[in-house]
Amino acid sequence: MLKEGERLLEGLWGEVRELSLGNRIQRLDSAPTPLQFLRDFVSPNKPCIISNAISHWPALTRWPSLSYLSSTLSNSIVSLHLTPDGRADSLVPLENPKKEEICFASAHVERVPFPCALDLVLNPERKNLVAYLQQQNDCFREEYSALASDCDAHIPWATEALGGYLPEAVNLWIGNHLSETSFHKDHYENLYAVVSGEKQFLLLPPTDMHRMYIQDFPAAQYSYSSDGGEFRLELEKPLRYVPWCSVNPYPSPETKEIEMSKFPLYFNGPTPFHCTVKAGEILYLPSMWFHHVRQSPDDNGCAIAINYWYDMQFDIKYAYFNFLQSIHHGSRLMNCDASKCTLSDELCIDASEWEANQEDTKDG
């Protein structure tokens, strides 16, 4: 029989889908008006995919030509993320002599001339590494300014709907089929435009947060030595902990059974929203939604996307989300034996732990 806490949460997941989200992501054939966007999507914190809103961007025809990108960015130094397997900002076992520990691993980041970086993205086998051109620090405006006239500096109807402020950050993502972004959430309203190739998103609303089994993991850093062509993964010193989603939605056939028994709320709960965003489409990814991203490259071997992060409103929805999170932190959910994990009956709130976690929460 289900524990009372689980039963209540399942009720919440179902109700949100019945009342608001339905069972698939809504599609719009053209750009919404600011009012429509605010009323139908931002206010209800509901994703949508919009076609024909960026057809006027020169980027759509220019960027798939890699020679155009290499010549326009021939003098640009860009941030390149390197990992052994395409999984950066993700959970990885850290071997140490005493015990095997799971850590939160960040990529080795190098600043390199764009043409070299692109070569590494396109030819992962050459150096036995996976390269992803990305940096979530406004990299498009900082590092790719030579491409600025190929797309809009902001998404006008979104800017108006979101209070008239320009995006806080605009980021460019150029990757191959091996790069994958693990489940996480951001405290931004995200307008994610695909320019070339396709991106596959798994999405879960903030109300499903207990299904992500968020835990604190020690932060570790890959370092890559081009001489030996090898990666080392080392814990950060001083030790730092990062709260992160434990669930890998695509476990290998060998680990599937064990993953499913460790994370039953994810694997036995409602299927995540799955959507493919194609070249020329924009995904509106509302703030605080959990997302996992994979990509299929175009004929040239890479997928290119640009996203606009707008500040979110820290309003009543944020307060509800924090309340849910506090239940998570106060319950014994994460402290129990993962193989028999059920929500505690009590779902008690531990105020001191809640406060201690607020800083981490803000950092996303």
* Binding region for ligand AKG (CB under 6 A): 173, 181, 186, 190, 192, 199, 291, 293, 305, 307
Kindly state the smallest distance separating residue 1's Cβ from ligand AKG, in Å: 38
Task: Please give the residue whose beta carbon sits closest to ligand AKG in the complex.
Answer: 181
**Alpha helices by DSSP H, 27-101:** 34-37, 59-62, 66-72
Q: Are the beta carbons of 167 and 253 closer than 8 angstroms?
A: no
CA torsion sign for 266, 267, 270, 273 is: positive
Min separation Cβ 183 and ligand AKG, Å: 10
Considering beta carbons, is residue 39 or 274 the nearer one to ligand AKG?
A: 274
Let me know: does 162 contact 42? Beta carbons within 8 Å.
Answer: yes
Closer CB to ligand AKG, 101 or 186, in the complex = 186
Residue 46 vs 262, nearer CB to ligand AKG? 46
Residue 297 CB, shortest distance to ligand AKG, in Å, is: 13
Nearer to ligand AKG, 38 or 172 (CB): 172
The CB-of-302 to ligand AKG minimum distance in angstroms stands at 12
- Tell me the C-alpha distance between 216 and 83, whole Å: 22
* CB neighbour list of residue 302: distance below 8 Å, 6 or more residues apart: 66, 118, 121, 122, 174, 175, 176, 196, 197
d(Cα 313, Cα 337) in Å, to the nearest integer?
37
If the CB atoms of residues 76 and 190 are measured against ligand AKG, the closer one turns out to be: 190
Q: Are 294 and 199 in contact (CB under 8 A)?
A: yes
User: Where are the strands (E) in the chain, listed by range?
Assistant: 26-28, 48-50, 77-83, 87-88, 90-95, 100-106, 108-113, 130-133, 169-175, 180-184, 188-196, 198-204, 214-225, 230-235, 241-245, 273-278, 282-285, 290-296, 303-311
Q: How far is the CB of 97 from ligand AKG (least distance, A)?
A: 34
Nearer to ligand AKG, 114 or 188 (CB): 188
Report the residue number, 118 or 293, with the smaller CB distance to ligand AKG. Answer: 293
| Minimum separation from the CB atom of position 92 to ligand AKG (A) | 17
Minimum distance of ligand AKG from residue 248's CB (angstroms):
15
